[in-house]
């Protein structure tokens, strides 16, 4: 066991491997979990590890790197022993291909890919990478750097000299509490800025105001649109898929982050469901967090199936400065939730839990998925009526301002998921869907073609709960749309799309912008803008990853 100041690092430092050098290329947010875990583990084993970060938040991820940036990466990687590229979502594949092709052309360094999409379909990604990690990457990369023969490395995928693709059996899943604490590597981390690599320790981004940790790794649910459903199949029989992390380890990491990152303003506890923690674990963590960290938490995620009055009371009594409790809804249709998304919804229970949360003076962020080809006019009407019930609960609330906000995501079909296979079978996807859609855009409904009836309904719902001068008008329009004949006409003639055409007139756009910027005074000091820590040029693109793949990342 190695001690570094107050931080405890499990394992034995191996000084014999310092000559071996691996470069990790992180194409997600700077504090990405995968880069942190790999760097901390491999450094403890005695290897030289460098991490190159090039921030890729939402739509920015689809932009290709410049020739200068590619050359900078290539020059740095020359002479190293291994390059690892983290493929956090399918959206990052084109840029990962771009980097890999450049490295193959200009260096002799082997390139290994890993990440949820790769684990879900390892043979496919061997078309691009020299090697792939078919499971957790720590031991795979360690064995590669030690020179272990490929056919003896569990979890490695490779192509033989005869062109045969081989995926070795997976090892047992890791005991997370025996690994080094996955702190962001400031000493050997670099920010790619055009043709320059800036040392992270001297150039911590001003927008790095948030640091993410988890207490529970893995998701117990089986949502058909999420890669977690596939990953659970891959790791079956290899150990517990949902694993808890010791509270002390999380607190130690946050204490370090608070000391080391001067721009840090808040924390994200990024468990797929924070309420999977027992009451005792919640109480232990929140007590220590408030005593030793006491930074605002931007959001927690939870499922109404795990939220209880007792756990909400523990959360409230802790004094935690919480921005939002993020509660996935995805579809308000019980049929779509059960039969298509495989995440059963009890509408009555969901509404009761929302009211319970608001009563505890906690704001709610609701994720919904739109543009679903399986949704009929019957389900669309059911969804709208349910939104009206949510609005009624929000308007009855007298405890907090702006109690509910909905975030609308375009349904996307990711290879490896059950929903993708279903959509292919039912011919809902074009032959070029992956190249033409997944490699071109995110789930954010920001484009002109996204301005359909569902987009309009979500926007009006968010206005209706604000209690501003326009909220009554928005509420009235939603009630009007909830009349079946009117909704049928709207759907048949795509009313919202025609309405969107009007936004091309400056006067209309100016009026709509006035509505959009209407604010209410928020008494809670937590920022309510999820984009606060983004660079100015990326303010239009919310944080984190695609909803369909986020849980698996």
* CATH architecture of the region 2-9+18-191: 3-Layer(aba) Sandwich (3.40)
Please report which confidence band the pLDDT of residue 397 belongs to, taking 50, 70 and 90 as the band edges.
Answer: confident
CA pair distance 308, 348, nearest whole angstrom: 15
**pLDDT tens-digit readout, 459-514:** 999 999 987 778 899 999 999 999 999 999 988 888 777 766 666 667 666 665 65
CA pair distance 528, 323, nearest whole angstrom: 7
pLDDT of residue 505: 67
Assign 344 to helix, strand or coil: coil
Can you tell me the mean pLDDT for 305-323? 96
Please report which confidence band the pLDDT of residue 58 belongs to, taking 50, 70 and 90 as the band edges.
Answer: low
Residue 518 has pLDDT above 60, yes or no: no
User: Which tokens sit at 208?
Assistant: 């790095």
Which residue has better confidence, 19 or 31?
31
Please report which confidence band the pLDDT of residue 451 belongs to, taking 50, 70 and 90 as the band edges.
Answer: confident
pLDDT of residue 5: 35
CA pair distance 318, 299, nearest whole angstrom: 15
Residue 12 has pLDDT above 80, yes or no: no
Question: What is 71-112 written as a DSSP string?
Answer: HHHHHHHTT-SEEEEE--SGGGHHHHHHHHHHHHHH----EE
Nearest to 446 by CA among 169, 60, 79: 60
For the beta carbon of residue 393, count every other beta carbon within 10 angstroms.
Answer: 20
User: Which tokens sit at 215?
Assistant: 């207490």
- The pTM of the full predicted model, rounded to 2 decimals, is 0.87
**pLDDT tens-digit readout, 404-448:** 999 999 999 999 999 999 999 999 999 999 999 999 998 988 777
Instruction: Give me the sign of the Cα torsion angle 468, 469, 473, 474.
Output: negative
pLDDT of residue 514: 59
CATH superfamily of 206-550: tm_1862 like domain (3.80.30.20)
Residue 537 has pLDDT above 60, yes or no: no
pLDDT of residue 448: 74
Can you tell me the mean pLDDT for 229-239? 94
pLDDT of residue 527: 40
From 55-64, 74-83, 114-123, 472-481, the region with the lowest mean pLDDT: 55-64
**Angle 103-108-113 from CA coordinates, rounded to 5°:** 55
pLDDT of residue 496: 76
pLDDT of residue 19: 77
Residue 536 has pLDDT above 50, yes or no: no
Can you tell me the mean pLDDT for 125-148? 97
What residues does each domain of the chain span?
2-9+18-191, 206-550
Nearest to 177 by CA among 232, 244, 236: 244
Residue 338 has pLDDT above 80, yes or no: yes
User: Which tokens sit at 506?
Assistant: 């400056």
The residue with tokens 């050997």 is 188
């Amino acid at each position: 066991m190695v001690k570094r100041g107050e931080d405890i690092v499990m394992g034995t430092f191996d000084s014999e491997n310092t000559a071996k050098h691996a470069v990790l290329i992180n194409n997600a947010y700077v504090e990405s979990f995968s880069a942190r875990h790999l760097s901390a583990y491999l450094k403890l084993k005695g290897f030289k590890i460098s991490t190159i970060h090039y921030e890729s938040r939402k739509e920015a991820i689809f932009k290709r790197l410049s020739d200068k940036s590619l050359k900078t990466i290539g020059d740095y990687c020359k002479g190293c022993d291994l390059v690892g590229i983290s493929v956090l979502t399918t959206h990052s594949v084109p840029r990962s291909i771009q980097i890999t092709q450049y490295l193959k052309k200009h260096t002799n360094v082997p390139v290994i890919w890993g990440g949820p999409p790769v684990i879900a379909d390892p043979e496919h990604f061997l078309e691009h990478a020299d090697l792939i990690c078919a499971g957790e990457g720590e031991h795979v990369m360690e064995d590669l750097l030690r020179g272990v023969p490929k056919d003896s490395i569990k979890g490695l995928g490779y192509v033989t000299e005869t062109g045969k693709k081989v995926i070795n059996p997976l090892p047992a899943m890791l005991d997370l509490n025996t690994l080094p604490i996955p702190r962001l590597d400031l000493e050997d981390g670099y920010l790619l800025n055009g043709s320059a690599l800036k040392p992270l320790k001297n150039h911590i981004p001003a927008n790095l105001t948030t640091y993410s940790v988890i207490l529970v790794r893995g998701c117990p649910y089986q949502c058909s649109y999420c890669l977690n459903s596939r990953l659970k199949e891959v790791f079956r029989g290899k150990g517990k898929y949902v694993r808890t992390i010791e509270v002390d380890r999380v607190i130690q990491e946050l204490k370090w982050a608070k000391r080391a990152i001067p721009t840090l303003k808040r924390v994200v506890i990024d468990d797929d469901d924070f309420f999977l923690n027992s009451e005792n674990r919640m109480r232990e963590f929140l007590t220590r967090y408030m005593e030793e960290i006491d930074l605002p938490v931007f959001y927690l995620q939870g499922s109404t199936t795990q939220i209880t009055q007792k756990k909400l009371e523990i959360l409230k009594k802790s004094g935690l400065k919480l921005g939002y409790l993020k509660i996935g809804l995805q579809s308000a249709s019980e049929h779509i939730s059960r039969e298509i998304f495989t995440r059963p919804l009890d509408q009555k229970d969901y509404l009761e839990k929302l009211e319970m949360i608001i009563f505890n003076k906690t704001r709610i962020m609701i994720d919904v998925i739109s543009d679903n080809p399986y949704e009929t006019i019957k389900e669309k009407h059911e969804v709208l009526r349910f939104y009206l019930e949510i609005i009624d609960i929000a308007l009855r609330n007298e405890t907090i301002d702006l109690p509910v906000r909905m975030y609308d995501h375009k349904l996307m079909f990711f290879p490896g998921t059950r929903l993708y296979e279903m959509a292919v079978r039912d011919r809902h996807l074009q032959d070029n869907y992956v190249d033409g859609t997944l490699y071109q855009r995110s789930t954010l409904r920001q484009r002109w073609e996204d301005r359909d009836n569902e987009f309009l309904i979500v926007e009006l719902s968010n206005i209706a709960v604000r209690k501003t001068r326009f909220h009554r008008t928005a509420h009235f329009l939603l009630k009007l749309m909830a009349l079946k004949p009117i909704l049928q006409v709207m759907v048949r003639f795509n009313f919202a799309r025609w309405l969107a055409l009007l936004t091309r007139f400056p006067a209309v756009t100016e009026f709509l912008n006035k509505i959009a910027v209407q604010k209410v005074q928020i008494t809670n000091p937590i920022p309510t803008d999820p984009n606060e820590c983004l660079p100015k040029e990326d303010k239009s693109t919310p944080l984190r990853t695609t909803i369909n793949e986020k849980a698996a990342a």
